[in-house]
Amino acid sequence: MADLSAPPARPGATPGNPKLGNPKPGNPKPGNPKPGNPKPGNPNFSSGPCAKRPGFTLAALQGALLGRSHRAKEPKARLAEVISLSTEILGVPEGWRVGIVPASDTGAIEMALWSMLGARPVDVLAHESFSQAWATDVVKQLKLADARVLNAEYGALPDVSAIDFSHDVVLAWNGTTSGVRFPNGDFIPADRQGLVFADATSAVFAMDLPWDKLDVVTWSWQKVLGGEAGQGMLALSPRAVERLLSYKPAWPLPKIFRLTSGGKLIEGIFVGETINTPSMLCVEDALDGLRWAKSIGGLPALIARSEGNLAAIASWVEGNPRVEFLAREKATRSCTSICLAITCPWFSALDAETQQKAAKSVASLLEKQGVAFDTAAYRDAPSGLRIWGGATVERSDIEALLPWIDYAIDTVAADFAK
């Protein structure tokens, strides 16, 4: 049985003055002038739900089939189009099944884990909040005796040489809360015996996934293409489908987790017949994002936009004494959920609790100035900032934001540095 006594370790802060209290978010100081450059045109840098695509207005949703049954011919065709466009743009291999499932990416990955795990031992790679949650599912909820959890601290990846690929393997391809991604799939053998389950919600449409090395891939609409929350996407390789048809888990499955009936795959899930009732407004929004993605050049263009945003931040970080990437290795830096640690001496001297307050003050000041919303680090992650760099974010907005981060850190320093 794996040891889940602690989540991925948070890097320890240098002990500082525990009596600093809780100052109000920094107010601009006379000696710290605001940047003279324009503010970002779109200040939405949330890591989910994410910024809408450039030029989006509500007029794009005027054709939504509101008030219609999702099982009627035309609404069902719209759902099927989400599946076909996603498959086309992502380059999902022939023979895979792609379907729309309930409860966003969480629903998709948990549906897969509950339906297919237990046939083999399992290795779970846990290096940030969500992959740790899947480890908890496997060890504490499913209570699989032959489970191992391979942990890593925030900013690092687990030791892939320790993975046993005769086991099933569960991982998050991109750590949404750590800013760390797998740079490629070279560590996964083509002749693996187990299945590889990849939570790829903040990777799809921004990274080139090695589909031949994966068996179950999940994501949601609310990340790289800026869709709305609620529905998940589930992609199954032929090997995953074979597992579903040949293995029955020992535990009961609720309706929203069932992918088979009477020993056969529920084919309707993969042609737009959803298990639950979807919002046709959100379906129309998902289609708008997919059509935009195709219009700009598909996956290569989406990747280029995201990588360009990462490059802009990397150029700014280099030589900047205020910040550094949370990801330790350059090759593992995420181009979507870009996580930054604050490295100023005054910040490093604070205790962990006060560091958290100071980092939130920086994010709060950015919001107060109207330049960036939702840039605080995830609640379980080390204190710092998280900037979404997915394909719907303009590089010009990233570049406009960066001087304001310098300004916010320097302003907050006056409240916390002692």
Give the pair of three-digit tokens for residue 54.
């450039």
What number is the average pLDDT over the span 384-398?
98
For the stretch 269-311, pLDDT in tens is 999 999 999 999 999 999 999 999 999 999 999 999 999 999 9
Alpha carbons 64 and 164: distance in angstroms, whole number: 47
Q: What is the model's pLDDT at position 21?
A: 36
Q: How is residue 383 annotated by DSSP?
A: S
Q: How is residue 194 annotated by DSSP?
A: S
pLDDT mean across residues, the chain: 93
Cα distances (Å, whole numbers) of residue 26 to 8, 195, 414: 31, 50, 8
Q: Does 17 have pLDDT greater than 70?
A: no
Q: Does 28 have pLDDT greater than 70?
A: no
What number is the average pLDDT over the span 16-26?
36
What number is the average pLDDT over the span 238-242?
98
Q: Could you give the percent of the chain with pLDDT greater than 90? A: 91
Q: What is the model's pLDDT at position 30?
A: 55
Q: Within a 10 A sphere around the Cβ of 360, how many other Cβ atoms?
A: 17
Q: Residue 18: which pLDDT band, with cuts at 50, 70 and 90?
A: very low
Q: Could you give the percent of the chain with pLDDT greater than 70? A: 92
What structural domains does the chain harbor?
A: 68-293 (3.40.640.10), 298-416 (3.90.1150.10)
The residue among 333, 13, 3, 11 whose CA lies nearest residue 151 is 3
Q: What is the model's pLDDT at position 31?
A: 67
Q: What is the model's pLDDT at position 37?
A: 84
- DSSP string for 84-124: HHHHHHHTPPTT-EEEEEESHHHHHHHHHHHHHTTSS-EEE
Q: What is the model's pLDDT at position 270?
A: 98
